[in-house]
Chains A and B, each alone.
Chain A
């Protein structure tokens, strides 16, 4: 054994000596600690080696660098949005009960790959198959077939038909776009898992996961972002710039909220949630720390969600977008906290504060690029109050059990976000959006047509997403059944559905967690 150690030591010493001496022998440049001498014209290679560097060479490199910054920006903000999956997992698991943690976490884990698979197979093709040339990401123009019908003498784009399985799109720009749009789709996909938690069969959830990325999300997404008829409302009917939604208050969040609404209504409330006279019982969160950490993860990821939607790091509006996002989140949390504390219940509720911050973020998602910071604050304030009031409305008036408030945070505030765009867009950005010249302006700045287009988009979302999710959930109910049995629900879904407790080794008082319906 000793000989081995001696041999290894000799090898290490030999290697060290070689590297030290070779660096002295082969170095041609002086080391540059300040970075001022690194990166010169020698980085750019002329078209033919040995030739003089021409202006065309320099311009080509500049163009390449511009697209490089844009692709890098899109990818890195996409990675931030992917991390929001962890945020949703933490929020949803924290706000539900300990006996169901493995199941809730499993849903939040698997929705990521399931949604991605659906989007990869056909969702991306439906949504972006007809989007045209990728302006900021290198100009590839192969995504050029949109199924269109003609109504009232105008073209109505319905969905795209190129790049199924990303075929024909093996291009760096297309792949960056796919990654970015996929993480947005997964944000929608994970919203209903919160509203439907604690009584949803895992097999039913699994089928839903495949459906959301294939047909529920991409069709409406195409109408707004893929060049479809909602985007064309401007060029077809003169309604502002058509339905504008910068980062997805309607495409992502309202869609998620509407699916959650339909799903939660179809599943029915958790056992013990409502008494015979219809009054609700509280089913407290099992981990407030998880919920708060999850909220911060989401708020952090939103710095990718909103500014990333420029798809261009060279579009410096990103600083306005990021700051608007931040301000709206603060005012949303502030408003929700004070509304609960002073006006509604005399006690500030931590889960409502979390919902308030998220509501502010959802509401600013559509208008973030088009409004000034004062409007962003107002949008956040309204969102904070709206999320509390709509939570009570769904829980007490409509009697729809939403364990995490997803319908209020995402559905209601998603709609508010796009309507707010139609009101507050101030005309400092967005020239040429959806093919309409001029910057995006809202009702308060002189353009009522924009508000009408936003409103039409909200109605279209309710009708299409509500309708298709109803069909999907009904079909799934016929195949496997949506809801678990009462005994499974009382015992906790972890062992019957997942086979193992999420908190193995920790004694849970399971019966104390389910209130008695009186």
Chain B
């Protein structure tokens, strides 16, 4: 089992969610987060004539825990759909997961990550 942490643009979230659903990745957690990075404001934010520097960059952090066989397709999907080509598209990190349980069924391991429709 692996944990995929993807930091993506908030504007790309709906597309990414739909695309992940297409490849049967239906369960993940996300949280709105702020980052520090290279993206510069293009003078878009202005208040009373003074430009506001984007000191903080709003992003969304997705935490997806998948079985080993699904890692490649998930990462490929994220890389493809969350891309815009502009500075600040985000990052993906992979970490191993030691063990996982599903609270309702008490299942553990790979069985806890099976989708409900799978046999």
Contact = CB atoms under 8 A, between A and B. Distances in A.
Nearest to A355: B48
Contacts of A349: 46-49
A344 B48 CA distance: 10
Nearest to B56: A512
B17 to A, nearest CB: 24
Contact of A352 (B48, B51, B52, B55): B48
Contacts of A391: 48-49
A336 to B, nearest CB: 11
A280 B53 CA distance: 12
Contacts of B51: 282
A20 B55 CA distance: 74
A355 to B, nearest CB: 9
A300 B113 CA distance: 62
Interface string B32-56: 0010000000000011111110011
In this complex, which of B34, B47, B48 has the most chain A Cβ atoms within 10 angstroms of its Cβ?
B48
A351 B49 contact: no
A516 B47 contact: no
Contacts of B49: 340, 344-345, 349, 352, 391-392
Contacts of A512: 34, 55-56
Contacts of B55: 512, 515-516
A391 B47 CA distance: 12
A113 B70 CA distance: 68
B47 A282 contact: yes
A281 B48 contact: no
A281 B51 CA distance: 8
Contacts of B50: 280-282, 395
Contacts of B34: 509, 512
A502 B47 CA distance: 24
A387 to B, nearest CB: 11
B48 to A, nearest CB: 6
B contact residues, range: 10 to 19
Nearest to A405: B48
| Most chain B CB inside 10 Å of its own CB: which residue of A284, A351, A392, A509 | A284
B56 A282 contact: no
A508 to B, nearest CB: 14
A285 B47 contact: yes
A515 B46 CA distance: 14
B52 A284 contact: yes
A347 B56 contact: no
A281 B49 CA distance: 10
Contacts of A281: 50, 52
A347 B46 contact: yes
A349 B48 CA distance: 6
A332 B81 CA distance: 48
Interface string A337-364: 0001000110101011000000000000
Contacts of A516: 55
Nearest to B49: A345
Interface string B91-103: 0000000000000
Given A284-B52, A515-B55, A345 B47 contact: no
A407 B48 CA distance: 15
Given A282-B52, A512-B55, A351 B46 contact: no
A351 B50 CA distance: 13
A349 B46 CA distance: 8
B47 A284 contact: yes
Interface string A380-420: 00000000000110010000000001000000000000000
A351 B56 contact: no
B39 to A, nearest CB: 16
Residue among B34, B47, B52, B56 facing the most chain A CB atoms (10 A cut-off): B47
Nearest to A280: B50
Interface in B64-112: none
B10 to A, nearest CB: 15
A515 B48 CA distance: 15
Nearest to A351: B48
Nearest to A511: B56
A374 B48 CA distance: 29
B41 to A, nearest CB: 11
Nearest to B51: A282
A5 B56 CA distance: 66
A170 B4 CA distance: 80
Contacts of A285: 47
Nearest to A391: B48
Nearest to A279: B50
B58 to A, nearest CB: 10
A7 B50 CA distance: 73
Nearest to A403: B48
A22 to B, nearest CB: 67
A316 B34 CA distance: 61
A383 B34 CA distance: 41
Contacts of A405: 48
Nearest to B50: A282
Contacts of A515: 55
Interface string A488-518: 0000000000000000000001001001100
Interface in A62-120: none
Contacts of B56: 512
Interface of A: 280-285, 340, 344-345, 347, 349, 351-352, 391-392, 395, 405, 509, 512, 515-516
Given A515-B55, A516-B55, 14 more contacts: A281-B50, A281-B52, A284-B47, A284-B52, A285-B47, A344-B49, A345-B49, A347-B46, A349-B47, A395-B50, A405-B48, A509-B34, A512-B34, A512-B55
Q: Top 9 nearest A-B pairs by Cβ distance?
A: A282-B47, A282-B50, A284-B47, A282-B52, A345-B49, A347-B46, A280-B50, A349-B48, A512-B56
8 contacts: A280-B50, A282-B47, A282-B48, A284-B47, A285-B47, A344-B49, A352-B48, A352-B49
